[in-house]
Chain A
């Protein structure tokens, strides 16, 4: 690169710096490649039914991961999202099945909000490392779900509620509309409001954030509260689809959620990434899991595949992104 080029700030395309551009392009390439490969390997992949299926799976995953994304943007982590999802699902299911739909929804969302608030207070004001605080919350949320459910499984939710998971709005399934709506709202919040921009700053440049006079602590609390809220919202969608709730619902959701966030290019160091990326990450993940099932891959490979995906995506971002940054300065 010439000296003149080197002295300019990193070249921008579509308003993105080169390393972010790599992230975006690589995901698009990965998504396309995945679709092409799966279509070749399995004749059932590219059917309307199957693709709708994939999207249905992706929606609750995305919603939960979206909340998690916000936390990760602040260089934190929320390990309790799965447990909160489970707790919310159980609360909602039992109240809704018992004939109180609005109460059920309110209870679920309220519980998620409450758990998130506690997480936020612990991390922000008590300055407890987010790992430990949310780990403790994981146990508490699980415990509350156990106590509440007493080993029961709740079945049989009313059709009106279930349409959230299974209904169609014209040709488009309702969950997908929910996903798009959530994505839009979050994207606007994160990129067009002082709150959102502040969150990026908290993760990317904490010292500057504090010095700028923004209410860092309060914003952190809100971020964790949002994460809990999104997790409980995802729980509602899950039970609408499966028409049942039991305490183990949220157990296996944590690893895929983190994978979706990483795949989406949000860095665990904070300050970089976003909800749009997570949406793509959730999609790719849902495709991979769907493909594995279609091809008859044994389920115990799932953990390894998720692990590999996490490693490779972050590795690629790190190495390539690092190289791009080095050559352009």
Chain B
């Protein structure tokens, strides 16, 4: 994508057209997988299964949306997984001891935001590499979460929690409503607010922004805060799904989110990309995993295949000049 393409993203016109013309690997991956699976397995293209897949990736999508913004600023957030675990555990423990739901949710959001503030400040104002900062907070969040429950799950949640997974207003499951809402919110934030413009700009040319005296640093912190808040929201969906909260539930999630973002075309450099790509990337990951299960591929081979596909998809992008 040329510089003109990058500029077009900040303006809302013709974004779709430009993007389709240089669709990221995830689109092709998704297409190939969907067609292939429909042919190879009888179960893939059924309402039950497709509903399953969409529900399964709900949490991933929410986290990946936050991650997209972070990566757009040329950063990365490895702490989102354990932060999700920590938020889930805190929320679970509060709800079990009869705190009102809104306070439990509020506490979780505060925790997510707090980690975001720490991450963002260290990256933005102290100029530390995001990989290192979030690796550090990854460990800290992990230990805090495990310490709170001594490694156990939080169970015995009140009945109403299940509704957040099983409930289906207007026939659409609650997690899908939640994902749609978060997507809409992120869309508006990214493409129609100053915050969004800064997000793209920081990725593109942070130094110039800082030197020009703008508030770039502050907005960069906000990006990490947003990612943390989304992780908190996602933890709630996850807890409802399992009817339990577990400190290690988020382990590996941040890497899946990063994979979804990268497959979706957002690159680590130059602030290019967007959340529609992330959505498709997450879908691709979800369909891949689902497909491997439906085809009965042995676990051992699944692990290797996932790696091959990630590298394959990204190599394809590279060949098409995405990384030069």
Q: Measuring CB to CB, which residues of chain A are less than 8 angstroms from any residue of chain B?
A: 77, 122, 126-129, 131-133, 135-144, 146-147, 150, 255, 258, 262, 267-269, 298, 300-308, 310-311, 314-315, 318-319, 322
Chain A CB within 8 A of B300 CB:
yes
Chain A CB within 8 A of B305 CB:
yes
List 25 A–B pairs whose Cβ atoms lie within 8 Å, in order of A's numbering. Answer: A127-B318, A127-B324, A128-B315, A128-B323, A131-B131, A132-B262, A132-B310, A133-B314, A136-B314, A137-B311, A140-B307, A140-B311, A141-B307, A146-B304, A147-B304, A150-B300, A262-B132, A300-B142, A303-B140, A304-B143, A307-B135, A307-B138, A307-B143, A314-B129, A315-B126
Q: How far is the CA of A128 from the CA of B263 in the complex (A)?
A: 12
CB–CB B136/A311 < 8 A: yes
Nearest first, the 8 A-B pairs at minimum CB distance are A307-B139, A143-B304, A304-B143, A139-B307, A311-B136, A143-B303, A140-B307, A146-B300
Residues of chain A lying within 8 A (CB to CB) of residue B137: 307, 311
In the complex, residue of chain A having the shortest beta-carbon distance to the beta carbon of B319: A126
CB–CB A318/B306 < 8 A: no
Chain A CB within 8 A of B301 CB:
yes
Q: How far is the CA of A147 from the CA of B301 in the complex (A)?
A: 6
Contacts A139-B304, A147-B300, A300-B142 given; 9 further ones with Cβ under 8 A? A139-B303, A139-B306, A142-B304, A143-B305, A144-B304, A300-B147, A301-B143, A307-B141, A308-B139
Q: How far is the CA of A150 from the CA of B144 in the complex (A)?
A: 35
Q: How far is the CA of A319 from the CA of B300 in the complex (A)?
A: 45
How many whole Å from A206's CB to the nearest CB in chain B? 13
How many whole Å from A215's CB to the nearest CB in chain B? 19
Residues of chain A lying within 8 A (CB to CB) of residue B139: 255, 303-308, 310
CB–CB A133/B311 < 8 A: yes
In the complex, residue of chain B having the shortest beta-carbon distance to the beta carbon of A309: B136
Taking A122-B315, A307-B140 as contacts, is the C-beta distance between A136 and B126 under 8 angstroms?
A: no
Q: How far is the CA of A315 from the CA of B121 in the complex (A)?
A: 12
- Which of A140, A147, A268, A311 meets B308, CB within 8 Å? A140
Q: How far is the CA of A15 from the CA of B278 in the complex (A)?
A: 48
How many whole Å from B273's CB to the nearest CB in chain A? 13
How many whole Å from B76's CB to the nearest CB in chain A? 7
Q: How far is the CA of A77 from the CA of B134 in the complex (A)?
A: 15
In the complex, residue of chain B having the shortest beta-carbon distance to the beta carbon of A317: B128
Taking A135-B259, A139-B307, A143-B300 as contacts, is the C-beta distance between A268 and B131 under 8 angstroms?
A: yes
On chain B, the number of residues with a Cβ less than 8 Å from chain A's Cβ atoms is 47
Chain A CB within 8 A of B238 CB:
no
In the complex, residue of chain A having the shortest beta-carbon distance to the beta carbon of B142: A303
Residues of chain B lying within 8 A (CB to CB) of residue A147: 300-301, 304
Q: How far is the CA of A127 from the CA of B319 in the complex (A)?
A: 9
In the complex, residue of chain A having the shortest beta-carbon distance to the beta carbon of B304: A143
How many whole Å from B130's CB to the nearest CB in chain A? 9
In the complex, residue of chain A having the shortest beta-carbon distance to the beta carbon of B316: A126
CB–CB B128/A315 < 8 A: yes
Residues of chain B lying within 8 A (CB to CB) of residue A262: 132
Q: How far is the CA of A281 from the CA of B229 in the complex (A)?
A: 34
Grouping DSSP codes into helix (H, G, I), strand (E, B) and loop, the A interface class, with mixed when no group exceeds half, is: helix
CB–CB B136/A310 < 8 A: yes
Residues of chain A lying within 8 A (CB to CB) of residue B59: none
How many whole Å from A147's CB to the nearest CB in chain B? 4
In the complex, residue of chain B having the shortest beta-carbon distance to the beta carbon of A138: B307
CB–CB A126/B301 < 8 A: no
Q: How far is the CA of A235 from the CA of B76 in the complex (A)?
A: 29
Taking A308-B139, A315-B128 as contacts, is the C-beta distance between A136 and B324 under 8 angstroms?
A: no
Q: Which of B132, B314, B319 has the most CB of A within 10 A?
A: B132
Q: How far is the CA of A305 from the CA of B139 in the complex (A)?
A: 7
- Which of A135, A300, A304 meets B255, CB within 8 Å? A135
Q: How far is the CA of A268 from the CA of B129 in the complex (A)?
A: 7
Q: How far is the CA of A307 from the CA of B135 in the complex (A)?
A: 6
Chain A CB within 8 A of B146 CB:
yes
Chain A CB within 8 A of B65 CB:
no
CB–CB B132/A268 < 8 A: yes
How many whole Å from A85's CB to the nearest CB in chain B? 16
Residues of chain A lying within 8 A (CB to CB) of residue B307: 136-143
How many whole Å from A94's CB to the nearest CB in chain B? 15
Q: How far is the CA of A308 from the CA of B301 in the complex (A)?
A: 36
Taking A138-B307, A315-B128 as contacts, is the C-beta distance between A143 and B302 under 8 angstroms?
A: yes
Chain A CB within 8 A of B258 CB:
yes
Q: How far is the CA of A303 from the CA of B303 in the complex (A)?
A: 25
Interface members, chain B 109-138 (any A CB < 8 Å): 122, 126-129, 131-133, 135-138
Chain A CB within 8 A of B268 CB:
yes
Q: How far is the CA of A137 from the CA of B309 in the complex (A)?
A: 11
How many whole Å from B148's CB to the nearest CB in chain A? 10
Q: How far is the CA of A301 from the CA of B315 in the complex (A)?
A: 39
- Which of B131, B143, B303 meets A142, CB within 8 Å? B303
How many whole Å from A326's CB to the nearest CB in chain B? 12
In the complex, residue of chain A having the shortest beta-carbon distance to the beta carbon of B262: A132
CB–CB A136/B308 < 8 A: yes
CB–CB A126/B323 < 8 A: yes
- Which of A127, A141, A308, A311 meets B132, CB within 8 Å? A311
- Which of A131, A141, A143 meets B76, CB within 8 Å? A131
Q: How far is the CA of A261 from the CA of B301 in the complex (A)?
A: 32
How many whole Å from B199's CB to the nearest CB in chain A? 19
Q: Which of B76, B135, B138, B268 has the most CB of A within 10 A?
A: B135
How many whole Å from A139's CB to the nearest CB in chain B? 3
CB–CB B135/A310 < 8 A: yes
How many whole Å from B180's CB to the nearest CB in chain A? 28
In the complex, residue of chain B having the shortest beta-carbon distance to the beta carbon of A140: B307
CB–CB B143/A318 < 8 A: no
Chain A CB within 8 A of B215 CB:
no
Q: How far is the CA of A300 from the CA of B248 in the complex (A)?
A: 11
